[in-house]
Structure 1
Amino acid sequence: MRRTPHRRMLAAALFVACALVPMATAPATAVQAGQAARAAQVDRHDPDDCPPGGLGPEVTARLDKAIEDVRREAAIPGVVVGVWMPGKGSYVRATGVADTATRRPMTTDGFVRIGSETKTFTVTALLELVDDGRIRLDDPISRYVHGVPDGRRITLRQLAGMRSGLFPYTSDPGFVQDLLSDPQRSFTPREVLAYGFRHKNTFAPGKQFEYSNTNLVLLGLVIEKVSGQRLADFIDTRVLRPGRLHHTLFPQGAEFPEPHPRGYTDQTLSGATADATDWNPSWAWAAGAMISDLYDLRRWADIVATGKLLSPETQAQRLRTLPTGLPGLSYGLGIFKANGWIGHNGSIPGYETVTVYLPAKKATLVIMINTDSLSGGQEPSTLLARAITGIITPDNVYDGSVSPR
């Protein structure tokens, strides 16, 4: 969601050295059985994660200090960072606390809500239908979903590229009031779209960039209509399984596999900080409801940036980015480019993530934190990414965020 001057709307101290990561305990019973079974069977440790020496003592010390400085200055309870640079080594650390009440330390083996990084999964699923010849990117949304304002002129490509002009439902005051009054409420896709469709479109299709969760909810409905499956099932079958993402899932409600850190937000009606760990993410659905962990996000960064699940032709279209109006940041089809880095960030009450890949160095950066409260008007995950890339890739400093919520 977008943040307002009066309250922010939704959209969306211990270092732990890299070591053998323990397996997660079984996810909550509400998580789909197939996903839970795979999560329980797969060892999450990759022996290449911790090569001898890592990135070297000097770089490691600089990263330790930079991350801890940002964490303290931005009041981030807990941080997990993974950096992998072929030929140089890796850096995997957790700092701070996973629970501000018990002071339980943050660890590298936890699940987090990934917010808008869900968009990369939804659009990948959509593009697989393109490769199957079942849809075309220049089809109008009206062919699949009725009742969309100006739907005969808005294409699937424009929805995936955030250029539809449809009003973001998360900017509707009534939606914000309804959600924050009852964060456990379950929303259907049609219910959230109705909040956005109350408003006139903000511009003619294709004329400019505007980040809008409305676009992705519509694409989720397209996938369901064309595939004949629930979105969660299609993503599981066509994206998660082929990608060997055994610790990534699309929850049906507020379920959350263990272990996970508590998540904290100031996106409340009073502006006071609240524990949002168990808030129901159904309102974000295809735009932001998914859950993952550090090592799956590492794998996903490479898959989504290099197009391993798509044809070369479709991946080329995905990476054909257009300006967003923000310096150094362009947006393609459910993916951005930020000073060379390709991927997406995510934000949802209680959690923020960044998952990006730098093709020039085949480098991967994953950040997971357990707050979405702004610091000096900026996303805390962006502050961390900027500080980290300033050290590891000074010619490619990450400085982008496309999750205004």
Structure 2
Amino acid sequence: MRHTPHRRLLAALLFVACALVSMTTAPASAARAAGVDRHCRHDCPRGGLGPEVTARLDRTIEDVRRQAGIPGVVVGLWMPGKGSYVRATGVADTATHRPMTPDVFVRIGSETKTFTVTALLELVDDHRIRLDDPISRYVRGVPDGRRITLRQLAEMRSGLFPYTADPDFVHDLLSDPQRSFTPREVLAYGFKHKNTFAPGTQFEYSNTNLVLLGLVVEKVSGQRLADFIDERVLGPARLHRTLLPQGPEFPEPHPRGYTNQTLTGAVADSTDWNPSWAWAAGAMISDLHDLRRWARIVATGTLLSPETQAQRLRTLPTGFPGTSYGLGIFETGGWIGHNGSIPGYETVTVYLPSQQATLVVMINTDITSQGQEPSSLLARAITQIVTPNNVYDGGATAG
């Protein structure tokens, strides 16, 4: 069946908002990655993984990049006792052919959820909220809000309709990508729909859940979400190159971002689109250095009490083989963390406790390749080489 551009776009956003992706192996080729480690500021490898593994990674990353049509890639891999690997390949700008470098800022999409939920869990540790409180205690007008708990929102088990799946939202966003949305405005797109299931009975990935949790953090703390995250999360974690922007501001250096999430389906430069519509669910910006630090903090619970971290890691089945979801994090193949997708950019930030290994992937497109997210294709191909017993199989995706 042939779809109109609008229908194709809606289907794509539905996929991005709800799907957990399982990838196939990317074959290697003779192409060799053009590493640009001379541009590293913080994370240049001090001890490589050996010439054979390094060469395999170079070939595989470049092969996936070319086959999936990814303009530019940054990969960081750190494996204590074995070594590390940092590479940037491809271009940050398809018009000027400026090379991708490891020191760039990128939009991290749904990795924002790990920050928002960490902020929420700090309020739990402060004894200011409880995870089993109903959302109606903090936010009015939520459909069935007296039965939906903060825990269910963080676990993606609320049953609230994802506002990103509303056709009017899709049209309004893509008709004016520079538009500034408020949290209440985006929630209204979702709240006009019936809930999709009874609270706690199923898993459904929904940005609606995280926007509500952002409002909870603001109400209880008395601060703007960005200020609370900066004070209680980014500061203690020493993440100095991570932020929740108010609008389309984007620190330099950053790559241009490319998407086909447009009204016509044509590829567009989305670098300066306003991410306010994603807010607590997907608007943050970070870099390789900070994401490396953050991966371990999220997985080990450095900022939380042991009891609260244990609850966070209690993941539940998602219905997608190999992937389970906890409180704002997923587990796949033993890797713990999150990925992100927003028009023009995708990221993966995960930590493997059994080997204390960290993997970060950053790319400047969200255009799928044969129905699969390109960042996940890269993460799977990389882990098949370096941790064959712990292969990244997918993750919750977002806008």
Normalised-by-shorter TM-score class: over 0.9
TM-score by length of structure 2 reads: 0.93
- Which of 240, 247, 252 is the matching residue for 1:258? 252
Q: Which residue of the other structure, out of 217, 225, 250, is the alignment partner of 1:231? A: 225
Deviation per CA, 1:345-385: give whole Å up to 9, x if none.
00000000000000000000000000000000000001000
Question: Is 1:162 paired with 2:181?
Answer: no
Q: Distance in 2 between matches of 1:389 and 1:349?
A: 25
Aligned partner of 1:73 in structure 2 is 67
State whether residues 250 and 291 of structure 1, in contact with CA within 8 Å, keep that contact through their aligned partners in structure 2.
yes
Aligned to 2:20: none
Residue number among 208, 218, 242 corresponding to 2:202 in the alignment: 208
SS in 2 for 1:242: helix
Q: After TM superposition, give the deviation of residue 18 of structure 1 in Å.
A: 3.2
Question: How far did 1:6 drift?
Answer: 1.7
Q: Which residue of 1 aligns with 2:34?
A: 15
Query: How big is the alpha-carbon RMSD for the aligned residues of Structure 1 and Structure 2?
Result: 1.4
For the 8 Å contact 2:340–2:346, the answer to whether it is kept is yes
The Cα offsets for residues 61-91 of structure 1, whole Å up to 9 and x where unpaired, read as: 0000000000000000000000000000000
CA distance in 2 between partners of 1:5 and 1:210 (Å): 21
Q: Is the 8 A contact 2:33 2:61 kept in 1?
A: no
Shift of residue 50, structure 1, vs aligned partner? 1.8
Q: 1:20 to 1:171 in 2, by over 3 A?
A: closer
- The answer to whether residue 307 in structure 2 is matched with residue 303 in structure 1 is no
Aligned twin of 1:365:
359
- How much identity, in percent, do the aligned residues show? 81
Distance 1:103 1:346 in 2: 25
CA distance in 1, matches of 2:166, 2:342: 17
Question: Does the aligned pair in 2 maintain the 1:14–1:106 contact within 8 Å?
Answer: no
Q: Which residue of 1 aligns with 2:29?
A: none
Mind listing any 5+ residue stretches in structure 1 that lack a counterpart?
Answer: 23-44
5+ residue gaps, structure 2, are 18-31
**CA shift for structure 1 position 404:** 5.1
What's the counterpart of residue 280 of structure 1? 274
CA distance in 2, matches of 1:404, 1:366: 17
User: Is the contact made by 2:344 and 2:366 (CA closer than 8 Å) also made in structure 1?
Assistant: yes
Does structure 2 retain, via aligned residues, the 8 Å contact 1:18–1:91?
no
How many residue pairs get matched? 378
Conservation of the 8 A alpha-carbon contact between 2:158 and 2:209: yes
Distance in 1 separating the partners of 2:70 and 2:39: 25
Per the alignment, residue 173 of structure 1 pairs with 167
The corresponding residue for 2:139 is 145
Q: Show the 5 A alignment for 1:4-403.
A: 6-7=8-9, 8-9=12-13, 15-19=34-38, 21-22=40-41, 45=42, 49-52=44-47, 54-403=48-397
Summarize deviations over 1:15-72 as a string: whole Å, max 9, x none: 23434634xxxxxxxxxxxxxxxxxxxxxx25xx5224x0000000000000000000
Contact 2:36 2:101 in 1 (8 A): no
1:32 corresponds in structure 2 to none
**Residue 14 of structure 1 contacts residue 105 of structure 1 at CA under 8 Å; is this kept in 2?**
no
Is the 2:159–2:200 Cα contact (8 Å) retained in structure 1? yes
